[in-house]
Amino acid sequence: MKLTAFDPGKNKYVLCGEVVGDTLFRWVKPEHFMRVLQGYGIQEVAFQKIMMEGLKKIVLKEEKTEQRWEADVETWKLNSKIADYGHGKQRFLSLKFMRTHELPKPYPVK
């Protein structure tokens, strides 16, 4: 299942990731990295859907480096910051709260 949310900065719906089992898999580009917070974000509306669906994990894969990051939804809930930098409310989590790991195979194709 694909998870989308409206991005007011782009004035269109954007793909926030793909749900597989109890995990959201999300591809991120270098421009998605928020230097101020040293982490990545997800639309707040999408995060609320993640919680409503009872998902347990969010796994990010950086397109350029193929670096993989994972954190439990509960970690996002407790340690993230909500901000609006022109693309609607987003929830940002610093990489210091995430861990790297090998992804289960097969990883969803974008």
| pLDDT of amino acid 65 | 82
The torsion region of residue 54 among left (phi > 0), alpha (psi -120 to 50) and beta comes to: left
Q: In the prediction, which pLDDT does 31 show?
A: 87
Please report the pLDDT score of residue 108 as a whole number: 61
pTM given for the model = 0.86
Range name among 12-16, 42-46, 63-67, 99-103 with the lowest pLDDT average: 99-103
pLDDT tens for each residue of 43-70: 999 999 999 999 999 999 998 888 899 9
pLDDT band of 109, cuts 50, 70, 90: low
Contacts for 84 with CB less than 8 Å, ≥ 6 apart? 90
